[in-house]
Amino acid sequence: MMKKPFVTKEQVDEIVKTYPTPFHIYDEKGIIENAKAVYEAFSWNEGFREYFAVKATPNPRLMEILKEQGCGFDCSSKTELMLSKAVDASGEDIMFSSNDTPAEEFAYADKLGAIINLDDFTHIEFLEKTIGKIPETISCRYNPGGVFEMSNGIMDNPGDSKYGMTKDQLFEAFKILKEKGAKRFGIHAFLASNTVTNEYYPMLAGQLFELAVELQNKTGAKIAFINLSGGVGVPYLPDQPGNDIAVIGKGVHEQFDKILVPAGMGDVSIFTEMGRFMMAPYGGLVTKAIHEKHIYKEYIGVDACAVDLMRPAMYGSYHHITVLGKENAPLTEVYDVTGSLCENNDKFAIERSLPRIDMGDYLFIHDTGAHGYAMGYNYNGKLKSAELLLKRDGSVELIRRAETPRDYFATFDSLPVFEKLSEIMDEESV
């Protein structure tokens, strides 16, 4: 099985006349179709809402597309809250789930009317001191501890995670919050990352639904929503089967009818906070082969680097690569595909079987629509690439320009050296 790019060599040949490589490009059609499928899968729940995890792809144009499909936004910082406000999200359109949270960020979330999701028991007092009250709608993050296992083995280790409250803390938190005026409560949990199995959400839902029944019975707190958070992954490998969101939604529905409905809690809303599943397959990094090197291994150097996509360098993650125009060519060569950073882990692929790559070929690196551009940085003085949107009509829209040296040096603007840098930039016309 091979992954198929959503953009062709012919399209890229036209795009680069205006926007040189490297660039991230996103598929509007795919994003919309996927969002519709998510809402269809959970249409049985009247209050369902997907709160897109802004951290995955913090671009307001893409956020607008998701908002048009009914999505809210999961934010974890003040700047993400500001992005949400910029696309006219407000109030309960926004879920604020952060940890080790500065007071000013709680204050700003409250100003926007966002649903605040408390990560720690001590944050109750901290929030009350910061904003002078406890909001009527409040959520708490749960950490069950131990390891999280499914039929295919251990998926993650919540007990080693810094996030969330213990069960005892959660019960005490609900009692205190209720006494302080909270009226609508939510439960939030994230137990495993990038699961490629239809079991994860239904299994998590079952645990949280049972917890919700116990919490409501013992504390009298009205459970208004249960947030399954993220963790639904995508198949990065070409032969890996993906999740079926319809099957996942059905599995959560079964747990809902089995646990919540008999407890008289059939009005509970289900929330999700998917970033990767919503966006990853609908983004790609397009880069050009500019060097080849023949030493102890065969290397192809491209004009992108880990600044544009950190996951392979940071995690050793696999991202499939298609050589545009050579989709059906035999995989006769074995290459390391590298960027230009002064770091030996700046490799998009290691010993990857690919067609023969000629200088000037365009490589499409798949599944960069989430945690791609967002994780970039400026090490070695490298500048982040542009972001483009491939629209449904086939046209291309610039949704974030490429950085320039002027952007990189902008924070020196109060220093004497900035005048010299400005002269240099003027000379170089950047």
Report the C-alpha gap between 306 and 347 in whole angstroms.
7
pLDDT digits (tens, 9 = 90+) for 25-56: 999 999 999 999 999 999 999 999 999 999 99
Answer yes or no: pTM beyond 0.85.
yes
Q: What are phi and psi of 401, to 5 degrees?
A: -75, 160
pLDDT at 159: 59
Q: Which residue has the tokens 């906070």?
A: 273
Residue 421 neighbours by CB distance under 10 Å: 17
Q: In the numeric block, which tokens belong to residue 193?
A: 């990352």
pLDDT at 154: 43
Those residues with Cβ within 8 angstroms of residue 333's Cβ, 6 or more apart along the chain or in another chain: 298, 353, 354, 355, 356, 357
pLDDT at 419: 85
First-to-last alpha carbon distance for the chain, in angstroms, is: 44
Structural domains for the chain: 28-280 (3.20.20.10), 281-405 (2.40.37.10)
Q: Mark the ranges of the chain whose per-residue pLDDT is less than 50.
A: 154
